[in-house]
Amino acid sequence: MLRIVSANLNGIRSADKKGFFDWLATIQADFVCVQELKAQAADLSERMRAPDGLTGYFHYAEKKGYSGVGVYTRHQPDAVVEGLGVDWIDAEGRFLQLDFGNLSVVSLYLPSGSSSDERQQVKFDFLDVFMPHLESLKAAGRDIVICGDWNIAHNEIDLKNWKGNLKNSGFLPEERAWMTDLLGRVGWCDAWRKLYPEAPGYTWWSNRGQAYAKDVGWRIDYHIVTPALMADAQSASIYKDEKFSDHAPLIVDYQRSL
């Protein structure tokens, strides 16, 4: 069994103080994909770099206190790929791929467009660049899981207040159509939705209006996987017993070994 976790930490140092690494030590994950490090290499403690039997690999943003992704693993990777090879994307530390035999584990932090029209355009530009990359990854014939914060709620079931968000970043028609294309024409699979067609599966909650307590959430954290790996997906869960971030960890167990 392979246990793979995706968690947007909204700051690795903040999540550490809230007990994230204590929790990590208890769950026996093989891979833990983290996003929004908001830190550089010099900011990480030894435990943040290599927590309890795991080794961390990171792709930092150039800007301090911003973005950044990482993958913790119990296994030695054959290859580590930092970034997409596109300067303006890679400067923000948004993509990290580790290869293990025929399996690739990716941590992704897709841009948010909620802060400004300019950032929404950056998000659209990212989607334009990313789709051909996703097509080539799919065509390579590897078993791949892309874990992360995609900053898109795909369908109405994926956010509580969908009617009030039809014109907001994260639920725009163009974003949703892009995700439909990815899961349809290109042939990737959304692990949570395939396993649980009727369960909302929220992973993020606004800090306003008691959204977390009332479970007025969005599902924007995903395991997007190739079909062969999807066939091995056994179960998934969202961990809400403790709150390490404004996101909750998404855990998926796959019936396979390395």
Please give the CATH architecture assigned to the domain spanning 2-254. 4-Layer Sandwich (3.60)
Per-residue model confidence as pLDDT tens digits over 223-244: 999 999 999 999 999 999 999 9
Q: Which of 149, 158, 190, 221 is catalytic?
A: 149
Ramachandran area for residue 130 (φ above 0: left; ψ -120 to 50: alpha; else beta): alpha
Q: Is 133 a catalytic residue?
A: no
Active site residue 87: no
DSSP string, 64-110: TTS--EEEEESS--SEEEES-S-HHHHTT--EEEEEETTEEEEEEEP
Q: Which of 57, 60, 72, 109 is catalytic?
A: 109
Residue range 155-181, pLDDT digits in tens = 999 999 999 999 999 999 999 999 999
- Active-site residue 109, yes or no? yes
Residues of each annotated binding site: 8, 36, 149, 151, 246-247
State the pLDDT at residue 258. Answer: 85
- Average pLDDT for 37-44: 97
Specify whether the backbone of 102 is left (phi greater than 0), alpha (psi in -120 to 50) or beta: alpha
Candidate list 59, 154, 223, 247, residue with the active-site label? 247
pTM, two decimal places: 0.97
Residue 257 pLDDT grade (very low, low, confident, very high; cuts 50, 70, 90): confident
